[in-house]
Amino acid sequence: MIHDFYGQDPTPAHTATTRSQWWRGAVIYQIYPRSFQDHNGDGIGDLVGVTQRLEYVADLGVDAIWLSPFFTSPMKDFGYDVSNYRDVDPIFGTIEDFDRLIEKAHGLGLKVIIDQVISHSSDQHRWFQESRQNRTNPRADWYVWADPKADGTPPNNWLSIFGGSAWHWDPRRKQYFFHNFLTSQPDLNFHNCEVQDAVLAEMRFWLERKVDGFRLDTVNFYFHAPSLRSNPPVAPEDFNASIAPDVNPYNLQDHLFDKSQPKNLEFLKRVRKLMDEYPGTTTVGEVGDAQRQLEIMAEYTSGGDKLHMAYTFDFLGGTFDAEHFIKSIRKAEETAPEGWQCLAFSNHDVKRHVSRWSKHGDEGRLARLAAMVLMSLRGSVCLYQGEELGLTEADIAYEDITDPYGKEFWPNFKGRDGCRTPMVWQAQAHLGGFTTAPRSWLPVPADHLTRAVDHQEHMGESSILGFYRRFIRFRKSQPALTAGDITLVEAPPDILAFTRTCAQQSLFCVFNMSGKDKVFDLPGDMNLESINAPGSVEFKDESTINLPAFGALIALIQA
């Protein structure tokens, strides 16, 4: 008899629903292929290397992997500038290598989600190469072109996230083209239905190759306002630097016209219609909007006819304190009660959270507590490779910087290389066992070697890796954590407390997010029972919980 994760004997209808919504409450492991495992000895990770390490990923207990881009690309933005959506870049291998990766992942019970970077392409893509030739060719309107102002300057004040104007002059057409990122990443014109048809066809290609879903890069960047109106300045009270580093003037605009347009909703319905042709597949959209992130997430994930999940920036910045988390949880529940978030603390674009949030000497304790908090919140979870080892942000010397973002804003912002360094597999091996090449594409920090996989496996359950493995399995065993509602509980400063509740159970979760011991008095009507949650403190008194620094308690609420 098949049992679902509630331990029940489900009806056929319930089984089908559970399987088709595997993503709801799932733990997804993000793999950055360049830095995971090098198979052919060129210093760059590849798909064969990923395939070789899938047993490790499956042993973590996660439900799926998310692969960052591996498509054909000139690599100006390390794969986020696609020149052929239907093939694998030779750096990473071949399309056959990808097929073998899919087969092995599925054999291990892992779903596979891949990036789709369709808001823009590389300027080397054949679509753009044709579009830029003149104003009359069949793809002339496939990208966002605009005439200059009378004085020759760009049509408006829109800015690129990577610095400078979002408009670049093309002498062939004597027009500017729009780029939200590098000048070599021109934006596609989604107002043209042929463009929509084309990118949906590219997605279908991978669905036919048995991928289980897509992470949609910059999903709210697809449409721009046809009026090309200039963005107004952001009001001081609404200023938020969560999308770009605070040294970037991009933050000073209220991006009303260059992204997050209402027309995007109709295209997302087309995406969902395509996904529904392939039962059990899913979408998670990266929503990048500093002022209206949760509102957009609510729109994009509501109604069951657009995105399944939205990947937000709420905890990819900010501070590790109860006030920030309480505010974010409350706003998410008020703004998007029917939406579904995909939550992450680290990824390939931001400083690793252990370095971002910890103070000297508390990295290990914070890493464990952060894992407990992340995997206790309502939503699905994304873990970034190396997070389960407690890896810190690498300090990359300027001569080793590869990220164009870092080169533009150095030294005030050093770019994204520090979170993209190679995975460390063996503490005593050359370059941590990542590659046999003399050099890896980014340096392997010496202090990362002390956190290598084999070293932590030797330590067993006492290691951060062992803790992640135990807590992921614990989360899967608790239906309230994967599918339950969340309700905040009033708590003293520095304490985050909430309940997670579903039909099968109610759990009480309380976290001391400070470096000092705290005492928490239970609400008078709450009776708790221990469920042996990893990292949870013991409690004996019926009304008072003693929480050490960075301590936590997860317990069953008795009916």
CA angle 118, 140, 167 (to 5 degrees): 65
CA angle 548, 551, 555 (to 5 degrees): 120
Tokens of 272: 């969902």
- Residue 429's nearest CA partner among 448, 416, 407 is 448
Is 189 buried (19+), middle (13-18) or exposed (0-12) by CB count in 10 A? buried
Catalytic residue among 151, 208, 237, 277: 277
- Residue 286's nearest CA partner among 348, 228, 360 is 348
- What stretch of H or E contains 556? strand 552-557
Hey, CA dihedral for 208, 212, 217, 218, is it positive or negative?
Answer: positive
Estimate the crossing angle of helix 264-276 against helix 193-208, to 10 degrees: 30
Is 277 among the residues known to form the active site? yes
What letters, b where the CB count within 10 A reaches 16 and e where it falls short, cover 393-419? bbebeeeebbbbbbebbeeebbbbbbb
Catalytic residue among 97, 123, 170, 217: 217
Residue 306 phi/psi, 5-degree rounding, is: -130, -125
Asked if 203 and 101 count as a contact pair (C-beta separation under 8 A), the reply is: no
Is 217 among the residues known to form the active site? yes
Question: What's the CA gap between 530 and 554, in Å, rounded?
Answer: 8
Rounded to whole angstroms, the maximal C-alpha distance in the chain is 78
- Residue 488's nearest CA partner among 498, 475, 478, 502 is 498
Q: Which amino acid is at 137?
A: N
Q: Which amino acid is at 408?
A: E
- Residue 294's nearest CA partner among 359, 185, 199, 379 is 379
Asked if 349 and 416 count as a contact pair (C-beta separation under 8 A), the reply is: yes
Tokens of 289: 């909007």
Question: What's the CA gap between 336 and 334, in Å, rounded?
Answer: 6
Residue 514 phi/psi, 5-degree rounding, is: -120, 170
Within 410-452, residue ranges assigned H as helices are: 446-449
Please name every residue paired with 555 in a beta bridge, in sequence order, or none if there are none: 508, 530
Catalytic residues: 217, 277
